[in-house]
Every structure is written in C-alpha cells, then in structure tokens.
Amino acid sequence: MFDLIKKDLVVGWIVLLGITLLIPFITSIAIMAMIDDFGGLILGVFGLITFGLCLAGAFLFISVDTVYEADRHLVSLPLKRSKIVIARYLSMWLCLTFNYSLVILSCLVAVYYFNQSDPLLDRLLTWRGIFAPYLMLIFILLYMLPFIFKFSTNKGTLIAVTTQAVLLLINPAHQLLNKWFPELFAFDFTWILQKLQAVLQWLSQQSTVSIYAGIVILIAGVAVISLALSIRFYNRRDI
Amino acid sequence: MANVIEIENLSKEYDDFFLDNVSFVLPEGFIMGLIGPNGAGKTTIIKLIMNLILRKSGTIKLFGLDNREHEVEVKSRIGFVYDNPNYYEHLNLKQIKNIIAPFYPTWDEAEFKRLVEKFNLPMKKILKKFSRGMVMKAAIAIALSHHADLILMDEPTSGLDPVFRRELLDLLYQLLQDEKKSILFSTHITSDLERIADYVTLIINGKIIFSRNKDEVLENYALVKGGNDLLNAETRKLFTGIRRNEYGFEAITSNLQETKKQFGDQLVYDKASLEDIMYHANLRENHV
C-alpha cells in the first residue's frame, strides 16, 4: 500500500509542485481582489475557488496515471485490485488535504501578513469554519471516486460532475418551471426544506461532542460505502 | 510433465468480437507462439491470462492454480511485457525500476543491472528520450529481473529492427536453458516463431484453428497447387483457404500424407511456412 502511495508521489511530484505554487497564488489574489473591490469576501465565489482548486488539484494528481494508462501496469503486478483502489483513495485524500491546507495557509497569510481583515474570513478561520468545507470536499471526493472506478478517470469525472450539477440545479430549475408553468409543475418542495430545517434545528440542540461524533460516523459510513462500491466496480472492470 | 498454462473453454464477448471456447495448454519449459491476424483474439487471450479483463466462461490455470483465485501468487511468477509498454515518460529507468521492484518478492537487483548493461540502457535518461526498441528492452529487463517462471509477451517484436529482434529471440532461447521457464508470446512475425517456438497456436476470428507442436505442424501442413478439375465437394475437405484462378488452385492441406495418397503426382507440394498456414487459414475461397 505504502509503495503505491509512494509511486503516486514519485510520478505526480511535478503536479504537486504546480499545485503548491498555484493554489496560494490564486487564493491570495482572489481574497485581495474581493476585499479591495467588493469590501469583503463573497462566500459563493470564494467557495467555488476553494472547492475547484482543491478537487481539481487532487484529480490532476492522478491524471498522470490516466495519461500513461497506469492501470494496465498496476493490474498486471502481483497485487489485489482492492489494494490499488485503497491506495488511490489515500493518495487523493492526502492530495486534497494538502491542497486545502494551502488554501487555509493563504487565508492566514492574507489576514496576518497582508493585514486584510474581513468578517467572513475571520469566521472561516475558526476550527468549525475550516473543517466544514473540508468535510464537504471529502464527501464530494467519496461521491466521485466510485464513478471513476466504474468507468475511467475522464468519463467517471464527467458523469460525477454532471450528476452533481443536476442535483444542484433541481431546485432552481423547479422554481423556474413552477413560475412559467404553474399548472404543470405544481409539486411543492417546501416540505422537504421544512424537514431539512427541522433536522438542522434538532442538530443545533445537540452537544458539540455528539455532533462531532455523528459527523465522524457519517463520514466513516460514506467512506466505507464509497470504497466498497469502488472495489466492486474495479474488480469487474476490463482494463 | 506439468503444464504451466491450462486454458479450457475460455470465452469472452465484446460488442463486435467473440472469443469462442478457446482451449490449449503450454507444458513447462517450452516456448509457445500465439499467431493470428489482427483482431483474431491474441491480445484478448493474453489479457485474460493476466486477469486484466473478465472472462465470460471457462477456466485458466497457471502453474496448476486458478488465475483469479490465486491472482497475486501466480502474477508474482509471471514476467509480462505489453506490446506498447507505455511507462511514465517523464521518469528514468531507475525510477521506473524503483516503482515496480517492491511488488516482486523475488526481485533480483543484480540480474536487473546485468540486463540493463547487456541491453546498453541508460539508467538516468528519461523514457521519453528512449527509442521504441529501448523501451521494449527496458520492459523485457524488468520482466526478466524477478526470476519469473512464465514469460508472457504481447507482440514483443513488432516495430523492432531485425538486429534487436534477433537479440531478443536469442535471449528468450537462452532463458529456456533453465528448463523450468516457459514463454508464451503473440506475434505477427511468424519467422520469429519458426526460429524458436516449440508450440504454435493459431487463432482466427476468436477460434483456435490448432494448438500443436511446431515441428508436427510443419511436417503435416503443406502448400499444394493443382488444376481446378481436381476440386469437388469431397476433395475440398482436404484443403483450407483455397485460392483459385483460371489456371488452377492453391491451398493448404493439414494432412499431407492423406493428400498425397489421394492425389499423388497430380498436385505440386511445397513446404508450408507458418505465414502460409496463417494466410490460407484466414482466407475464404477466393475466385480471381
């Protein structure tokens, strides 16, 4: 397992170097530009930059394997396919964590070195503010990886991103259609939102320890399901 | 004598191709050549042996063990060379070796160095600057450095110059001095096989035409020529890949003795090369 992760580092060091230079640069410029031009950080834009850079960096990291069809070589080695899958999960998680650390580091540099203060940035730089997007990134990664092992890096990424985009667009699309054709699209989603709000309300009443324990259990559960699916898909895939 | 490869009723289905109940064996200590035209199923068989693709039905036993149930065990005893070993081009041979070696418990660093020196391969030059022949030599050096009992090669000689092809064949021949090693390689270049193979398996359109001892094949098969008047429904059964023109026909017979017995001096008999056999087996009756 360690040898496979080491392989990823040897093969993808140039990508890592690029990420190390690019992420702090883009993040810092984005923070400065937003604070200077708009008087503060815009959560939507900043979130998009952060998520985009971290995920794209992690996928770029394994893109070297895609270019050189590394699966052909890896599967011909005396290795169980499940080990290849687990190693790729770990490599991508490490890369994602590294990328996200660079984003946080850039935020810290902006606040403490360039003395750029912003209420949103201050909230982002708390433990909760740091870990909430990080967990979200891990969820997205765990969601995307089974698609990649089912199909291939390119096709799998495309399908995973498309399905996420579709999920994100369901609510605005429904609202728009409801506005244009009220008699055709009369289905009311508000009860789902009410349920969600009730869940959030219930969560806010729980102790911090219980919430963290719940998050850990949830992440672990999603990780196990994602890994099991990926191993199953990869075991049944023609290389 | 134990069989290194035992394949029985192996099938694989793609949208446009069907590997149809393939069966053959490779005994320990021999070289087998897998021949056939493009798209015949040679690479599919090799990929199935390596469990890179999933079979529809049938069994594959390597060293007497199922290749899926004992995947790690059998693969550690195989040296595998792709037709296009597309290694990471931005790395050098030393880095590639460092990536691959830890996965083989029997990796022999001294043997790797010996082969690298024998092939004149630079260790610190990136693979992007290697010629195709050098990449193939590197792949072979890696495949032979963990004392594999079975060497599997998919079209190892295609695109290589005749000098290196000859060197490679000599190397494979030397390998067999160790009687426990066996080799299966697919190729279009049938002259390579005539030089070193002990067994030949011919596959066309996903079906095995024969899998036999090479000398037996060359003894029993012959290229025959004769007048068109000799062809009828009964006599056609003796011939494969009949090529006719206004002066007569040319075909391959797989039973030289019987053909001679039936036709005597009415036919002209020539020695059939493996290429002739492959060509005529692939040929449907052709009126020119």
Q: Is B102 an interface residue toward A (CB < 8 Å)?
A: yes
B125 and B262, same domain (yes or no): no
How many Å apart are CA A115 and CA A109, to the nearest integer? 8
B283 belongs to a structural domain: no
Residue among B52, B73, B88 whose CB faces A11 most closely:
B88
Contacts of B45 (CB under 8 A, 6+ apart): B7, B10, B19, B22, B34, B186, B203
**What average pLDDT is seen over chain A?**
85
Contact B52 A75 (CB under 8 A): yes
- The answer on pLDDT for B171 being more than 80 is no
Nearest chain A residue (CA) to B85:
A73
Contact call for residues B63 and B14 (beta carbons, < 8 A): no
Least confident of A60-74, B55-69, B135-149: A60-74
B281 belongs to a structural domain: no
Contact B91 A11 (CB under 8 A): yes
pLDDT at A29: 84
B168 and B246, same domain (yes or no): no
B85 belongs to a structural domain: yes
Contact B52 A80 (CB under 8 A): no
Contact A75 B100 (CB under 8 A): no
Contact B54 A76 (CB under 8 A): no
In tens, the pLDDT along A199-228 reads 888 888 888 888 888 888 999 999 999 999
pLDDT at A185: 61
Residues from A contacting B (CB-CB < 8 Å) are 3, 7, 10-11, 14, 64, 68-70, 72-73, 75-80, 236, 238-239
B156 and B57, same domain (yes or no): yes
Last residue of a domain, one of B189, B215, B241: B215
pLDDT at A184: 65
More confident residue, A141 or A172: A141
- Provide the shortest C-alpha distance from residue B99 to chain A (in Å): 6
More confident residue, B7 or A213: B7
pLDDT at B178: 62
Nearest chain A residue (CA) to B80:
A76
pLDDT at A43: 78
Question: How long is chain B?
Answer: 288
B278 belongs to a structural domain: no
Burial per residue of A197-234, b for 16 or more beta-carbon CB atoms within 10 angstroms, e otherwise = eeeeeeeeeeeeeeeeeeeeeeeeeebeebbebbbebb
B202 and B247, same domain (yes or no): no
- The answer on pLDDT for A40 being more than 80 is no
B38 and B163, same domain (yes or no): yes
Mean predicted confidence (pLDDT) in B23-30: 92
pLDDT at A61: 78
Structure tokens at B262: 């039936």
Q: How many domains does chain B have?
A: 2
More confident residue, B227 or B6: B6
Q: Tell me, what CATH number does B171's domain have? A: 3.40.50.300
pLDDT tier for residue B74 given thresholds of 50, 70 and 90: very high
pLDDT tier for residue B287 given thresholds of 50, 70 and 90: very low
B93 belongs to a structural domain: yes
In this prediction the ipTM stands at: 0.83
- Structural domain span for residue B256: 222-271
- The answer on pLDDT for A182 being more than 80 is no
| Cβ contacts from A onto B, under 8 A | 58
Residue among B72, B88, B91 whose CB faces A78 most closely:
B72
pLDDT at B281: 83
In tens, the pLDDT along B95-144 reads 999 999 999 999 999 999 998 998 889 999 998 898 888 888 899 899 98
pLDDT at B63: 93
Parallel, antiparallel, or unpaired for β B182-187 and B150-154? parallel
> pTM surpassing 0.80?
yes
Last residue of a domain, one of B215, B238, B253: B215
How many Å apart are CA B227 and CA B101, to the nearest integer? 61
How many Å apart are CA A132 and CA A113, to the nearest integer? 24
Structure tokens at B193: 């096989």
In tens, the pLDDT along B141-157 reads 999 899 899 999 998 87
Contact B52 A72 (CB under 8 A): yes
Contacts of A128 (CB under 8 A, 6+ apart): none
B280 belongs to a structural domain: no
B173 belongs to a structural domain: yes
- Sequential DSSP letters for B226-281: E-GGG--TTGGGGEEEEEEETTEEEEEES-HHHHHHHHGGGSEEEEPPHHHHHHHH
Nearest chain A residue (CA) to B46:
A76
pLDDT at B64: 92
More confident residue, B61 or A1: B61
B253 and B170, same domain (yes or no): no
B65 and B123, same domain (yes or no): yes
Last residue of a domain, one of B195, B215, B235: B215
B81 and B118, same domain (yes or no): yes
B44 belongs to a structural domain: yes
pLDDT at B188: 79
B169 and B242, same domain (yes or no): no
Amino acid identity, position A162:
T
Residues of B in contact with A73 (CB under 8 A): 82, 85, 87, 100
Percent of chain B with pLDDT over 70: 96
B52 and B121, same domain (yes or no): yes
pLDDT tier for residue B288 given thresholds of 50, 70 and 90: very low
Residues of A in contact with B73 (CB under 8 A): 78
Contact call for residues A11 and B88 (beta carbons, < 8 A): yes
More confident residue, A99 or B85: A99
B240 and B104, same domain (yes or no): no
Nearest chain B residue (CA) to A7:
B99
B25 and B94, same domain (yes or no): yes
- The answer on pLDDT for A177 being more than 80 is no
pLDDT at A186: 63
pLDDT at B286: 39
